[in-house]
Amino acid sequence: MSDEPEQESTAGETPPVRSETAVPKASQTAPSDDVTRRGFFSWAAVAWVGFTAAVGGCVSAWGRFMFPNVLYEPPTTFKVGNPADFAPGVVDTRFVEDNGVWIVNEEGRLYALIAICTHLGCPPNWLEAQNKFKCPCHGSGYYKNGINFEGPTPRPLERAAIAIDASDGQVVVDKARKFLWEQGQWDDPAAYIEVA
Amino acid sequence: MLKDLQKAIVKSQVWKSIFRVGIPTDNRKRAMAMLGNVVLHLHPIKVKKSGLRMSYTWCMGGTAFFLFLVETITGVLLMFYYRPTVEYAYFDMVDLREVAAFGVMREMHRWGAHAMVIAVWLHMFRVFMTGSYKPPREFNWNVGVILLVLTLLLSFTGYLLPWDQLAIWAITVGSNMARATPLLGHEGPGASFLQLGGTQLVHVGSDARFGLIAGRTIGGGTLIRFYVLHCVAIPLAAAFLIAVHFWRVRRDGGISGPV
């Protein structure tokens, strides 16, 4: 029997009076040999590490659970037809509803404007009569090429990657790749298609 | 004869099992009645006379709690009709307004929500102006700030549920803020540095906003997610913190009064 548990229990239970009767009482209430201080803390450490790991694992699993693996959204890469389908000077609004892009043929270039207002993310409308894009939320306005000129928006619309699929000659738009005017990316070869 | 009936009721086992002590006749028994009753024990045993002064407290904390109860009751009633799916949500909301008996519950829920936000702000304003955030009440001030955030989150999540154009685009605009979360938002500071072998870890399909709205854009996944947050998660958290808030009011020396 070690000395330490005896001293612990003595200090906890009785006032520090050294008498003949206190000694046998303390030895009666001392823990048995089965549980040593070292053993207790070892098991406590294992238990706490295990508990923390279990809680951490659960929280991680709950967090990951909130991120869906399958989305029922339109794909970010899609085909919009042949280059000849897009007449010069026209803003094609056929793909805005489902895919969120306008296909614009202007000054010899075919490009895809992403229909998300760069102010706060609302969907602007193409107003043919006024020859501009206008956002209904806060009144931001953009020219046909996507450059902003009125309202609170701080920068032009973004353009998506556009290319010709070599296998069938169709125009492919990839919204996952964006090109920003303010970073000089609109002249990137992937940001437009040369048209006659 | 009426006296006999009253006596028979009061002496009955049913009555005695509910009201174990008789009508309290002295202060100690009154205090014990408050302590021993599950409903009454939430209320303090003694209230300072100054605590009843409307011009000092504005009763805005009590009003906010009352509105929380109104929102809970009307909200549970709305849940009997409302289905949080893209095909039904808007039309269920319109039906509640136009054809459901006592569909005014929906308007009460909506206006109560506006009133609750105002009441919580005014409560906070009063507590600030009277210096009631000072020790020993600083912990309860912090609990109150969290309750303010939960109130705003309840409003924000409830905003989407009518599923009309205002709702969808308001949540689009509101949730776009999460894009700018440091490290966790794909447009936030530091996010571009989180790469693994040249692959962006935080992008539009994996950032905090994506986890919040269950997609790249507001959709059916967002609707059910906000519904669960609005009806279960946030109310439970708020109810727990309201209980802590009230408990601390008493622990910290009762409702604050004029110095």
* Domains contained in chain B, CATH given: 58-251 (1.20.810.10)
Query: Which pLDDT does position B227 carry in this prediction?
Result: 97
Choose from B173, B199, B201 for mutation: most chain A CBs within 10 A.
B173
- pLDDT (tens digit per residue) in B11-39: 899 988 888 777 888 988 888 888 877 77
Global pTM reads 0.81
The residue among B60, B245, B71 whose CA lies nearest residue B157 is: B71
Q: Which residue of A has its CA nearest to B206?
A: A67
With CB atoms and an 8 Å threshold, state whether B216 touches A73.
yes
Both structure tokens of B123: 């409560």
Select from B176, B219, B220 the Cβ nearest to the Cβ of A121. B176
**Calpha distance A9→B89 (Å, rounded):** 66
Q: Nearest 10 degrees: CA dihedral of A121, A122, A126, A130?
A: -100
Residue A174 bridge partners (DSSP):
A77, A161
The residues spanned by each domain of chain A are 4-65, 77-194
Which amino acid makes up residue A24?
Answer: P
List of chain A residues whose C-beta atoms are within 8 Å of the C-beta of residue B204 = 176
- pLDDT (tens digit per residue) in A79-137: 999 999 999 999 999 999 999 999 999 989 999 999 999 999 999 999 999 999 999 99
Query: Which pLDDT does position A11 carry in this prediction?
Result: 46
Q: What is the CATH number of domain A77-194?
A: 2.102.10.10
Query: Which pLDDT does position B42 carry in this prediction?
Result: 72
Give the count of Cβ contacts less than 8 A between chain A and B: 33
Question: Region B71-81: what's the mean pLDDT?
Answer: 96
- pLDDT (tens digit per residue) in B197-212: 888 888 888 899 999 9
Query: What ipTM, to 2 d.p.?
Result: 0.73
DSSP tag of B133: T
In this prediction, residue A8 has a pLDDT band, given cuts at 50, 70 and 90, of: very low
Q: Look at residue A16 and tell me whether its pLDDT is greater than 60.
A: no
- What is the average pLDDT score of chain B? 92
